[in-house]
Structure formats: C-alpha cells, structure tokens
Amino acid sequence: MKTELSPTLIRRRLTSLFPADLVEGIARLMVKITSETQGTSQTTSLRS
C-alpha cells in the first residue's frame, strides 16, 4: 500500500514532533534553496 505524502501532511507530522517555528523555518529554507537551484525567485507561503 502506497501512502501519498502531501506537504501539508508532512508538515503536520513534523510539527507533532518538533516546534512549529522550526518546521516552518526549515520549510522556508527548502523553498528558497529549491527556487535558487531552479533559477526562479518565487516565494511560497507554507502556512495552511
């Protein structure tokens, strides 16, 4: 059985283990790194 992992589900699981601010900071950093490596400068809101 394959489980689909959405960003919201991943964030919810991580925030149950770690402080929400830490999870949000890591998520923002990952978006920044991804956008820089793809050559785009878009910002994405990760709050649900």
Where do the domains of the chain lie? 7-36
With a cut of 80, say whether residue 43 has pLDDT above it.
no
Give every CB contact of residue 35 below 8 A, 6+ residues apart in sequence. 41, 42, 43, 44
Average pLDDT for residues 12-18, to the nearest whole number?
89
pTM above 0.85, yes or no: no
CB burial string 18-42: b at 16+ within 10 A, e below:
eeeeebeeebeeebeeeeeeeeeee
| pLDDT of 47 | 55
With a cut of 80, say whether residue 44 has pLDDT above it.
no
pLDDT band at 38 (very low <50, low <70, confident <90, very high): confident
Distance CA 21, CA 18 (A): 8
| pLDDT of 3 | 72
